[in-house]
Amino acid sequence: MKAARFLATLLGSGLTGMLLYAAFAPIAFGPAAIAGIALLAVTTSRRRAAASFLLGWLAGFIFFALLFSWTLEATGEWLPRLALAAVEALYIGATAVGWRLIALARSRLPRARGSLASAFLSDLACAAVWVAFEQLRGEWPFGGMPWGTLAFSQGETPLLRLAPWGSTQLVGFTVVLIGLLAARAGTYLAGANLFSSSVAALLALAFFVAPVAVPAQSSAGEKITVGFAQGEVAPASAPLEWRERALGVTANLARASQAMTPGKIDLLLWPESASDIDIREDPEAREVVDGVAARLGVPILLGTQRYWEDPASGAQDGFSVSRRTNDYVVFTAQGEISGAYTKQHPVPFGEYMPYRDFFRQFSAAVDLVSVDMIPGSLPAVLDVPLGERTVRVATPICFEVAYNDISARAVREGAQLLVVPTNNASFGHSAESAQQFEMTRFRAVELGRTAIQVSTVGVSGIVEPDGVVHSTTDTWTEESRTATVGLRQGITFAAQFYELIHAGTYLLGSGVIALATYLVLVHGRKERKHQ
């Protein structure tokens, strides 16, 4: 009997991870996240802290190991994928311990044990703890990894409407709260408490449906016509030298842009790494871009790189001596570069290698990152001259779209349009690009801006501030699109008060843990005195 229960518990934990994964692309069934949270609550209920941690960790490990399938495509090794999943899962394990602590604190209050109101407060507290640990996971260590944030999975549910009012924290909080209420409804039903089960179920349904009433963002004041191109990228197996491969990417984008007619667009967008050869230094690469800009008579926003050697710095910090920045630049119709944004949040282990000598002991894949990327320090905005006016564009590069602060700051700096240039070629035919597009969709709604994701290999497409998606491309195809998009000035609550939401999330989560710890310790001592 004990063995059967143990096996059922492990299966429940594994199924939790699979349900959480199913909420994201490629399956992208948002309500699966709610079911996963409900099952996690049931699986870890009435367990000791150590068991809760291990079951939470196992659920998280399976979730992230499935979600991060693209790391295998990028590195060709299983170790980075499994190691990343194992580290990220620690946060879900810690969350499960926090939930156990809250349940224990509630059990120490005699009046609260059977109270439906106290059960609801307990679920609110547990949701706050989840969001606090999820936010921490997105920030630490090495700048964090927000991939897998629950809010990004809710693009097709009514909960997306909450994004302008509380960013990923409010949407994630609501997902968890609904899941906990659903679990509680099932628990009450199993105990034949039909009234309490009905109340919990109705509350869960109400929290899921109510955001439909939240109004969508207002219409745009000005509009521009934008074109974007997605070119083919030679497969990694193709026997090409680095320069030949890089020039080929730029040439393919130029060819894809041939479908656009002069005078029909105001701005052309190319992706990150449109020219990995620095067009500020290389005449051949610059000539390709210049030809397209001159033919269409419009500015081009495109990604390029700057390279240099820094032997003194390499000797001090263990990084490689080769350095680079990842830039997104404004190339005018007159052939000049009028502005540049440098990516401020390079991806650890992907774009730079911290503690290279240490990690090389575990995998030679560290040297796939042969040139370390250096971060920029300025906001992710570019001022684009369009005739007699200037349009300010937010330009978080690639993974930066996952970080709340970068896009929120860009909007507060006056960005009227959101462009997410990305290079997904390293991730093969995995769901990485589709998962990133989910984030772009979330940002469009959260920030009240039309958002355009433009990729080297797809998915590229446009998302309106109400979450409607259009003008998408297939992956690994050479395509181009044009669309008229709105420019907006208003600032959402989530963008305006990002710092307040951020600090409040930590204060609420840590406050809940502190209060639960106090109740357990104080009432525990009182119980021992009465024994």
| DSSP characters over 265-299 | -SEEE--TTTBSS-TTT-HHHHHHHHHHHHHHTS-
User: Do 290 and 335 touch, CB atoms closer than 8 A?
Assistant: yes
pLDDT above 80 for 236: no
Between 452 and 527, the higher pLDDT residue: 452
Lowest-pLDDT range of 308-317, 337-346, 352-361: 308-317
Write the DSSP symbol of residue 34. H
Break the chain into its structural domains and give their ranges.
1-216+501-529, 222-312+319-491
Q: Tell me if 496 sits within 8 A of 412, measured CB to CB.
A: yes
Q: What is the pLDDT of residue 312?
A: 62
**pLDDT score of 237:** 65
- What number of other Cβ atoms are within 10 A of residue 251's Cβ? 15
467: left (phi over 0), alpha (psi -120 to 50) or beta: left
* For range 76-97, the mean pLDDT: 96
Q: Which one is predicted more confidently, 364 or 408?
A: 408
Do residues 324 and 374 touch, judged by C-beta distance below 8 A?
yes
CA angle 232, 386, 223 (to 5 degrees): 85
Looking at residue 476, the DSSP 8-state letter turns out to be: T
- Among residues 175, 137, 232, 173, the alpha carbon closest in space to that of 32 is found at 175
User: Tokens at residue 57, please?
Assistant: 């960790």
Q: What are 252's two structure tokens? A: 């393919």
Cα 237 to its chain centre, rounded Å, is 29
Q: What is the crossing angle of helices 498-530 and 404-412, to 10°? A: 140
Q: How far is the C-alpha of 216 from the C-alpha of 98, rounded, in Å?
A: 35
Contact between residue 444 and residue 478 where contact means Cβ atoms under 8 Å apart: no
Higher pLDDT, 111 or 181: 181
Element (H, E) at 520: helix 498-530
Q: Backbone phi, then psi, for 317, in 5-degree steps?
A: -110, 0
- Residue 320 pLDDT more than 50? yes
In a 13 Å sphere around the CA of 387, the CA atoms on its Cβ side amount to 6
Query: What pLDDT is stored for residue 251 in this prediction?
Result: 97
User: Which residues are CB-contacts of 1 (< 8 A; sequence separation ≥ 6)?
Assistant: none
In CATH, what number does 222-312+319-491 get?
A: 3.60.110.10
161's tokens = 């409407």
Sign of CA dihedral 68, 72, 78, 84: negative
Rounded to 5°, the CA angle 443-449-454 comes to 70
Q: What is the pTM of this model?
A: 0.95
Residue 151 has pLDDT above 80, yes or no: yes
